[in-house]
Each structure stands twice: as C-alpha cells, then as structure tokens.
Amino acid sequence: MPSFNLEEYGRLVAGLRAAGYALGPVTSEASLGSAPRMVFVRHDVDLHLRGVEQMARLEAEHDVRATYYVPLTLHFNLLYPENQEILCEICACGHEIGLHYDAAAYPSDPAAAQRHLEWEVALLSALCGTAVRTVCMHNPSIGGTDPFSESASYVNPGSSLFQKDCLYVSDSCRAWRDDSLLRCFSDSPPRRVLLNTHPELWLHGDVREPLEYVDKVLRVAGIQQNVEYFDAIQSMWVEHAARSRSAARERDLGDGGNSC
C-alpha cells in the first residue's frame, strides 16, 4: 500500500493509469460508458486548507482532475483571503469543488435543511467562481443518517449510485482501512473505484506514525493562520502611535504628574 507522501501519491496516480484506469472527478460518472475502468478521485478537506494546493498541482501535472470537498462549517474560514486564494488555485488546476456539509450543523426539519444546503452551495459557488454540482457528508460514520445521499439536484458519492459495484478506498485517520486498493493491480481489477483521500495527510511524509502526525503536523498547521494573525496584531500594537502616547502619559503620571 502507498506510504503517505506526495511522491507516493504521484506514483499511485501514475500506476492506476498504467493499469488501464481513467481518473476523473466524482461528477464524471455520466461519462463512464467510454471508459472500461474508472477511478473517481475524491478529496475530503477536513483539517486545514493551507498546503492542499500542493496535491492539486501534482494532479494537474499528471493530467488528473479530482473533486475537492470543502466545508463551510468547520474551524477554518473559507472567507479568509488566503483560503480563498487556495480555493481559486485548486479550481485553476482544473479540479472541481464540492460542498462537504456537516449534518450536525443543519436544522432537523427537512425543508429547512434543504434551504440551508442551497445557501451553503450558493456561497461556496460564489467563493470559487464556478457552480458547485456535488456534495458529500462530513463524518458519515458518526453523523447519523445522510439527509442528502439521494439528492436529485447534486451528485453525492454517498448515494446508491456509488455503492453498487464500486470499490471504496479511504485513507481516514492516515490509515488504509484494508488492502483492497491492490486489487486494481491484480488479474481481476474492479471496474469502478471511489478513491477518497484527505490531502492534509499526505503533505509531510517524514512523520509516519498517525498520532504523531496529528500532534506534530496537523495541530501546528491547524492553528498556524491564527498564530500569524495574532503575531501581526502584536506588531501593530508595538508600532501604533496611540499606544506610544498612552505609554508616555503613564510615564508622566509615574513621575508625579497630576492625573486630574
């Protein structure tokens, strides 16, 4: 099974193509008839967006288009200018953006939930400058029933369309659930494969143990934008004229000045 680093991911993509697979985004299901074997390339962005563009560039170098599912309700803010730029770069590499919705953040009423989904889709479409045509649920193993799995409006990789005769391969928690990916290189390869990876897990191959990766890589990356923001605030306070004047007044008072 591939190790978790970008070089290995590039080899995996090249190997799948050499094994006779066409690789494409989730919405390429409609064009399956022209390909005897198909890998739907799906990425769930769960932890942070910074750095994910590295995988998008690598795939573009291999002439591969993928679907990047990004959330609007997790801890990183897609409206933050740097994150918007990364989102636009992923699109510029030829990939499609899908909504990674968190059912826990949705109202329980089905009609209200549908309106909320449409609102998130519209916002994400505006951010990436292209219509969002696909959605998928965040944390399906603990999120309960998927309210939009069989949506008539959007392609959803959690739908029955992708459950039947389609091998599902996932790298959740930076561990392969099994070795079924190797079937793609066997004498009886599956015709359809849904390859679900989390790009953040592939960016630092020098840290191999999963829990160590959480502590040394993901935790640091997840808070880095906040650290940089408050470093900038601190620098601004140091240089701000009002703070200097306030400090001068306090010195004058300390030297016996009248506070009245």
What does the pLDDT average to over 9-27? 96
Q: Which of 199, 212, 213, 168 is nearest to 68 (CA)?
A: 199
In terms of domains, do 96 and 175 share one?
A: yes
In terms of domains, do 146 and 102 share one?
A: yes
Residue 257 pLDDT > 60, yes or no? no
pLDDT of residue 255: 67
pLDDT of residue 233: 86
By mean pLDDT, which of 21-35, 126-140, 190-204 is the weakest?
21-35
In terms of domains, do 149 and 240 share one?
A: no
Last residue of a domain, one of 168, 186, 202: 202
In terms of domains, do 108 and 234 share one?
A: no
In terms of domains, do 151 and 217 share one?
A: no
Q: Which of 8, 94, 89, 24 is nearest to 52 (CA)?
A: 89
Is 47 a domain residue? yes
Is 249 a domain residue? yes
Cβ-proximal residues to 21 (8 Å cutoff; 6+ apart), any chain: 35, 37, 38, 39, 184, 189, 193
Q: Which residue has the higher pLDDT, 198 or 243?
A: 198
In terms of domains, do 197 and 226 share one?
A: no
Is 123 a domain residue? yes
Residue 108 pLDDT > 60, yes or no? yes
Is 259 a domain residue? no
Confidence of residue 193 (pLDDT cuts 50, 70, 90): very high
What does the pLDDT average to over 47-70? 96
| Per-residue pLDDT reduced to its tens digit, 152-164 | 899 999 998 888 8
**Longest pairwise C-alpha distance within the chain:** 91
CATH number at residue 179: 3.20.20.370
In terms of domains, do 135 and 243 share one?
A: no
In terms of domains, do 143 and 233 share one?
A: no
Residue 34 pLDDT > 80, yes or no? no
Is 148 a domain residue? yes
Is 1 a domain residue? no
Residue 31 pLDDT > 70, yes or no? no
The average confidence (pLDDT) of the chain is: 90
Give the structural domain span for 120.
6-202
In terms of domains, do 108 and 150 share one?
A: yes
By mean pLDDT, which of 32-36, 142-146, 189-193 is the weakest?
32-36
Residue 182 pLDDT > 50, yes or no? yes
Residue entry with tokens 């506070």: 259
In terms of domains, do 69 and 196 share one?
A: yes
Say if residues 30 and 16 touch (Cβ distance below 8 Å). no
pLDDT of residue 145: 81
In terms of domains, do 102 and 169 share one?
A: yes
In terms of domains, do 222 and 185 share one?
A: no
Q: What angle do CA 81, 85, 87 make, to 5 degrees?
A: 115
Is 177 a domain residue? yes
Is 260 a domain residue? no
Strands in 13-149 per DSSP E: 22-24, 38-44, 67-70, 96-101, 135-137
Residue 102 pLDDT > 60, yes or no? yes
Indicate the number of domains in the chain: 2
